[in-house]
Structure 1
Amino acid sequence: MILTEKPSNIYTAPLRGNRRMIVFILAIVSFLVLSFFTFSRSSLNLGGPSCGRTIRTLSEAVALSSSTSNSHGGQAKFINLNDLDATANAKDEQEHVLILTPLKNAEAYLPKYFELIDRLSYPKDLITVAFLVSDTDDKTVEILKRKADEFLNRQNPSQRYHEIAIYEKDFNFQLPEDKRHTFELQPLRRSFMARSRNYLLTAALREYHSWVLWLDVDVVNYPESILEDLQSVNVDVVVPNCLLQTEDNSFWGYDKNNWQETDKSIEMQKDLDPDYVLLEGYFEFLTSRYLMVDMPTHNDRLEKVPLDGVGATFTLVKAQVHREGANFPPYVFQHQVETEGFAKMAKAMGFGVYGLPGYLIHHIKNS
């Protein structure tokens, strides 16, 4: 911009004849040169970390100027959440799935984890995978970064995932591996797990996600079509039947957090202290609930049964359930915490929670 008025606090001597013209021309040339270098540094040379490339033509500079002129302002983002749905035909309807996995010292399990995810028949460009790594001292983060780079930059666009996110949040909670499943430490351990899941959920859930899958890193066998199969059941929360992987393929239940209340278990809870946490699969306190791992498995694998508690080895949730406020309580909610507390909360809000006793997946045997 050329000033048409001189500031009143600047004194200039009068110029006459050719001298006036020469000084005027020099002033214009100086202004143009100064403007060129200023513009080229601030707008044309964008090869730094903020952009990653250099603009080489004037037309590019003009386009950039137009696109960045509102860098301190702009239009509101409008998203109609009424149009977001989770249906039985999710694949055909191009519905996005968010896979969430909390991790701690998981390097030994990650190769199989990524192998199984990559076998899924659901379109990869509709899949987001997000991790929360906590209190870890192995190579978990290093492996995640390497696999994310591989999955996001494949030559074939159809084989690239929509997004992979790695979050890190330490809770400074250390528990010896041999004490991980002891009865006395479960309420505290599960409370920290609930906090971890809530951090991951709130960090990763986007407005376009229709489904949320909670997947354990050490699940070692499930069908390629499992997402489409579970979506076809078309319920708010659904879990398959997770068994323990054994060398002789014998039937051993693993995820005992999938269960139904019984008349006996409901009656027993009437006399419990409100802050008492019930745990499944421990002889120290028998709950008298009906575990899904004890239900018949010979029926159709998509035949569903209502559940009152769920684990999270492989739990598919319509994103609406989480958006409306059902999360993982780190506190005691109806005698439960974490995943079973989530199921209780979802049911209290009117959502349906179901299991598929005949749909079998397998979990590795932990130390």
Structure 2
Amino acid sequence: MTSPRTLTPGLPFLWERARRVNPSSLVARARRAGRRHGRSTLGVVVDMLWQAGVRGVGFQDYIDYDFAMLTRAERATYMTSPVSHRLAVRFDDPAYRHLFHDKIAFNGTFAPHLQREWMVVTDDNADDVRAFALRHGTIVTKEPMGRAGLGVHRYLARDVTDWSRFHRGLLDRGETLIEEVIRQHDELAALCAGTVNTTRVTTYFDGERTHVLAMAQKFGRGAVSDQNAFGGFYAMLDETGRATGDGYDSNDRVYPTHPDSGIRIADFRLPMFDEVLEFVDRLARVVPQVRYVGWDIAVSPTGPVLVEGNWAAGVYENKPSATGIRTGHKPRYLAAIDADAAGSASPLPHAAPARAVA
């Protein structure tokens, strides 16, 4: 049986987290949360430590998902980073994780679903790099082991004057994966044309069916990546692909409209939503040994395109102060993973079953 208690991080994990606590950062976060929700700084600090040590709630989870304003029952509906990590360790076979962690291995494994040209930089292929870049005009380079958008770069071929030097620079910096830039759907480009705005779809594959646990639409700000580190933000999507409210980021900023285009975030609906669900079902079956995955999908004019998959899926959750919704997605995770756990989670408010794709 998979229960909320068995998903709580163990003592070694919690001890390692405790060793890395930055007291000044903790107090600063607690002070901001206290001001926002009308609570004392000391009270929030104590609550954050208790939630981290007993409930498996990361400090950033506590801030991002407005735990300071939630009841105990409401908090229990939220998926958190430590609990998500425990799911990944339990359900993603270590022998196959490298196929997701290494971007070159990932591209080779999922090549039919990328729908774009890509190549690997080696010591002797400077001419091939030049031809690739000139053919596409703009290229994206990636460090194969980069995470959270870090290690992703964008170059214009017209800016390169010395191709031998450019090639050597890619090798020296470890940018050994080159990809064609994805052309996104016009509705997504209208929000921010300078960034490919991706959809994070978190799934669990039970061996027969793919369960969609959560979906979030990420919005870029013109940089090469739509991740938070590049100024991006996101909004959760409902069962029809519509945004559940305003957008938000991990710096406690809320976005009623996109800052660059002025488009209202709550009006967003993912184009080709049904096609995206069918697409992730196919993806989940490629490496069935890695059952719990966060897929980053781009919707092109002709259909969904795979950007990458993350075996350590990370967490995208609802922010009550941005949406007015005071519950999260944890019951969906439990329902997909274990029917008994779904029964134990069902009394939580507004628990919704995970959407299964046959």
* TM-score, reference length from structure 2: 0.22
Q: Which structure has the greater CA radius of gyration?
A: 1
Structure with higher helix content: 2
